[in-house]
Structure 1
């Protein structure tokens, strides 16, 4: 290739005057068209009939009254519903309260019923225990009485089978008194009896002292003050012994010497001879 080769130019070729004029004319036509169109548009808009609008009803007095009545009715209905709801709620609450009161009353009644039943059971138990105790006491009393009777019978039999009563060193009236008393041993004790087959305590002493010409009062209370009081440490055969207070004695017997006495003791033993240690007397009087 030749060093001086032709290099094509990159510059655009100049437009010619005719091309420029042509482009200018076209642009002007376009602008004119736009201007005409813009001028015509307002006119068309002005000539287009207006669209119809929605008219609101006129609020007159009748409509206002109707609206007011409807509002009042709605308010009254709402108030009635509210009152009814409140009444139903109050009734429900009253029902709940009444149930609580009833449940509490039932609970108290049941508790009182149980307490009464327990009290009754306790009373029955105590009455039963008291009855059993009374029965046991009566049984023990009968047993003791039977034992005492057996012992008295044994003593009476021994005294009866004895060849002779206890020896007494008494003389004179005392000996006569004691001899009479010894002859009565083994006879029964009978309340109010004064001889000759049975005696009570004061009946026997009265009959015995009558043997020696001494008339004693009938009952033990009076006999306990009929003579001169003597101490139990200074007794002599023929002294009258008493149990209880002087003037209100409940039992009497006669001292026969040797630390012994003879008396009508009780219905179980009858007339017996006993040692002073068997039943210590309260006091004594000397009537001879």
Structure 2
């Protein structure tokens, strides 16, 4: 085959970028060789140089198609990477939000549990104090009760045995009507009372407004002797102004009071539990 023969040209499948670079390098080398040959033929020479014709190999390169394909692939990869990044960010945001909500819910549940625990502890403490007070009253010696009976004997005559009238009758009748109902700490009626709640509600029947707590009720009105009680007088246990229990004297040497959770509202003789003192509001 002649060295000047043409290289047949036929289309081949697209080649990779590395193959394209090799072919481009070959073409550049051929062009460089031709340029040097042209320079040599242009310079003067004593001897004629035989003219040689070289044909440049035909490079059938579909560069535009390959570049377009590469750009398309790169753009698609960039788009997919952006979508994946956005999805990752959304997932992370969702996880962060869920964790924050869970933490807040846990804190609120803990606060609620602490509040319920504190309320229960307070209620238990009050009930325990009431039980201790009742136990203390029940444990009084028989000698003290005997002494109380002897000192209370005069109460069977005079003003002590006089029937209640007017406002006193309204107070006494209301108090007796509550006998048998439950004792509940903080109760103010109508189905349950504590000691000061019962006294306050009874006096309300007579149009008289009393303080809510037993300490203040023991300071209301005028102090009276236990030997000169009248129906409607307020009995108290403990020191005046700081009493821990109150009840209503209903006449005949008896009182009505909301004692404790185990007994509820009862009517008892003064000998059952001697009060410390009494005040008269009417």
Is TM-score (shorter-chain normalized) higher than 0.5? no
Q: Whose relative contact order is higher, 1 or 2, with alpha carbons under 8 Å and at least 6 apart?
A: 2
TM-score by length of 2: 0.42
TM-score by length of 1: 0.42
